Amino acid sequence: MRRLIRTLIPGALMLALISSLSAPSVSRAHAARTNAVEKCGQAFAPGNFAPHEQQAGAQRKTTASTTAPVVREVDLSGLKKLLSREGREGRPLLVNFWATWCEPCRAEFPDLVRIDNEYRARGLDFITVSIDDVSEINTGVPGFLKEMRAQMPAYLLNTTEQDAAIQFVDPRWAGSLPATFLYDAQGKVVFKHLGRIKPGELRAAIDKVMSNK
């Protein structure tokens, strides 16, 4: 038994070291009160929704600066437009629903950021939808995204029809967070995960959908 423990401990330590080296820290600091807010009407104009690359590119350039990410406010119809892939047909879409008060959401975010970094240039659209209170749109939400160095287009769902929004996304989803949905290029859900993602599984699903594009 002792020998077994002696064998396991170095392995566990190595694993912990690898994780700590590769993951951005998940502290609770809420900063950044300076980002712009765009209402869904503007956000979903085709000209605005389409250029994810430009948007992401612009954000990438300022990653090292102190600018916090833009968080766009969407209502139910805005969410529907987002998921309908208007102007973005032909590209798979990954959507993560989260909130700053949701611990597993915060815990999985470094993995989501890595996956975005790995796949965006290869043709994957990835958006995050926060369901925080709208009062957090200039504070907690962009503050956390900045801390995570998240560059995926970020939205905050502000609607009195949360039940309708959940049912629109997936009639079998009760609304637990985090929740991650992968749509293929035709807009069909091909993978979903409720709870903290398993990065390997998600990567495999993305690889599959990208190869079928």
Q: For residue 71, give the H/E element and its range.
A: strand 71-74
- Measure the CA–CA gap between 202 and 180, rounded to whole angstroms: 9
What does the binding site for another protein look like in residue numbers (CB under 8 A)?
3-4, 7-8, 11, 15, 97, 99, 101-104, 131, 133, 160, 162-163, 166-167, 170-178, 189-198, 201
**168 bridge partner residues:** none
- Measure the CA–CA gap between 26 and 138, rounded to whole angstroms: 19
The answer for 74, left when phi > 0, alpha when psi is -120 to 50, beta otherwise, is beta
Kindly tell me which of 60 and 192 has the beta carbon lying closer to another protein.
192
Kindly tell me which of 64 and 172 has the beta carbon lying closer to another protein.
172
Q: How far is the CB of 66 from another protein (least distance, A)?
A: 29
Closest CA to 127 of 84, 160, 86, 97: 97
Output DSSP code: residue 130: E
Q: How far is the CB of 176 from another protein (least distance, A)?
A: 4
Q: How far is the CB of 25 from another protein (least distance, A)?
A: 18
Kindly tell me which of 35 and 100 has the beta carbon lying closer to another protein.
100
Output DSSP code: residue 182: E
Tokens of 79: 């969410």
Q: How far is the CB of 61 from another protein (least distance, A)?
A: 34
Kindly tell me which of 15 and 121 has the beta carbon lying closer to another protein.
15
Kindly tell me which of 5 and 64 has the beta carbon lying closer to another protein.
5
Q: How far is the CB of 59 from another protein (least distance, A)?
A: 26
Output DSSP code: residue 120: G
